[in-house]
């Protein structure tokens, strides 16, 4: 049963969070518009799509991504305000343990954590498809891929020299297949190849084809050919943030597919998957730190507490970025890279919690 103090703190918690979220997202939208306005005008982006397709999904994505950080600052802000107004002193001198004081904070943090997990895994990836499609059409440079090479199931090696999203055509497609005994069984080379969007259908232009299982392994040359492959161009030509538009099941399937190909995208996809869970759970850790830092009245007032909170945020983001680079470039475990900042800050939270008890 929630007491009056519990309802009071939860109301403060959620109210401050949504106020700060709205304020930060408003400033983010203003800065983003100032940066991209010229591109929107030059590419003739419709006003309704800018605001109702792009910026609605923009706020959902970035607001949810940084929600744990905003929660941290919110906790510090309203807790420090309560401390300055001597609202916390009666609670400290009531003789109740610090854990009892933390209960409404954890209730508020749980509500926001569950909401963030649902958004991360199921809702935001779908809205990201809308946002990224808008950027592709009205803002980003044309997607190009050079010197693509991947190995697909069945000992199938695929290579092409260039792909441009402007004409949606592959140059110098080469496909080679080997048997389990590493004997060549198939070879294909086409000057141009074009994939029908969303399907496995391809059209080859000026191609050479050789199946070693044919009698005498004849080399066939043709001008055009319609065929099917097990892969699509949207799997081969992807931007760095393509994983943002994949739901949980799609991301798991993409990771397995890229592992088979030996793709360099595997660490990035795994980091995206783990981050969607690690960031929301950081809410609990940062809430403990926030309460421990801001619950005691200081000479520097709220400003000092906010400064301490911002320092923690910057250190957390820096640690996450450094470990992400280590996972993608050096080979550090992606699971460890994503969760290690949470582990380190959990230790810091425990130290601050023990100090708050004293």
Could you report the per-residue pLDDT of 115-152, keeping only the tens digit for each?
A: 999 999 889 999 998 998 888 888 876 677 888 888 88
Q: What is the CA radius of gyration of the chain?
A: 27
Per-residue confidence band for 179, with pLDDT thresholds at 50, 70 and 90:
confident
Q: In the prediction, which pLDDT does 140 show?
A: 75
Q: What's the pTM value of the predicted model, to 2 decimals?
A: 0.77
With cut-offs at 50, 70 and 90, classify the pLDDT of residue 22.
very high
**What is the residue-averaged pLDDT of the chain?**
84
Contact 297, 116 (CB under 8 A): no
DSSP secondary structure, 68-88, as one string: HHHHHHHHHHHHHHHHHTTSS
Q: How many residues does the chain have?
A: 358
pLDDT value, residue 148: 84
pLDDT band for position 216 (50/70/90)?
Answer: low
Q: What's the distance, CA 247 to chain centroid?
A: 11
* Token output for 117: 């997990």
Distance CA 340, CA 186 (A): 46
Cα distance between residue 12 and residue 291, in whole Å: 13
- Residues with Cβ within 8 Å of 332's Cβ and at least 6 positions away in sequence, in order, are 323, 326
Q: Which pLDDT score, from 0 to 100, does residue 152 have?
A: 81
Q: Does the pLDDT at position 97 exceed 70? A: no
With CA atoms as reference, report the closest residue to 21 among 135, 129, 119.
119
pLDDT of residue 239: 72
In the chain, % of residues over pLDDT 70: 91
Angle at 99 between CA 294 and CA 343, to 5 degrees: 75
pLDDT of residue 295 exceeding 80, the answer is no
CB 312 within 8 A of CB 289: yes
């Amino acid at each position: 049963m929630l007491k009056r103090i519990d309802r009071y703190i939860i109301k403060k918690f959620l109210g401050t969070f949504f106020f700060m979220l709205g304020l930060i997202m408003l400033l983010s939208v203003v800065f983003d518009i100032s940066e991209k306005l010229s591109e929107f005008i030059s590419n003739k982006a419709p006003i309704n799509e800018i605001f109702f397709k792009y910026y609605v999904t923009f706020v959902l994505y970035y607001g949810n991504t940084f929600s744990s950080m905003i929660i941290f600052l919110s906790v510090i802000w309203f807790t420090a305000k309560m401390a300055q107004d001597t609202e916390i002193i009666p609670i400290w001198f009531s003789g109740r343990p610090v854990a009892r004081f933390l209960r409404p904070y954890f209730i508020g943090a749980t509500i926001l954590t569950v909401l963030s997990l649902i958004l991360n895994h199921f809702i935001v990836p779908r809205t990201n498809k809308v946002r990224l499609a808008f950027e592709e059409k009205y803002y980003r440079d044309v997607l190009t891929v050079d010197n693509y090479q991947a190995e697909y199931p069945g000992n199938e090696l695929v290579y092409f020299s260039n792909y441009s999203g402007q004409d949606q055509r592959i140059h110098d497609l080469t496909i080679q297949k080997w048997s389990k005994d590493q004997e060549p069984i198939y070879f294909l080379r086409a000057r141009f190849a074009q994939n029908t969007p969303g399907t496995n259908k391809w059209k080859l232009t000026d191609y050479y084809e050789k199946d070693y299982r044919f009698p005498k392994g004849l080399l066939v040359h043709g001008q055009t050919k319609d065929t099917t492959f097990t892969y699509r161009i949207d799997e081969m030509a992807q931007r760095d943030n393509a994983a943002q538009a994949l739901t949980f099941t799609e991301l798991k399937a993409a990771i397995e597919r890229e592992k088979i190909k030996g793709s360099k995208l595997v660490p990035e996809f795994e980091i995206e998957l783990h981050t969607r869970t690690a960031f929301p759970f950081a809410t609990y850790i940062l809430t403990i730190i926030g309460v421990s830092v801001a619950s005691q009245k200081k000479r520097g007032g709220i400003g000092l507490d906010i400064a301490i909170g911002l320092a923690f945020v910057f250190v957390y983001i820096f640690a996450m970025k450094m470990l992400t680079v280590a996972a993608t470039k050096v080979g550090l475990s992606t699971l460890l890279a994503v969760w290690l900042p949470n582990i380190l800050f959990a230790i810091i939270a425990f130290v601050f919690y023990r100090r708050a008890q004293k």
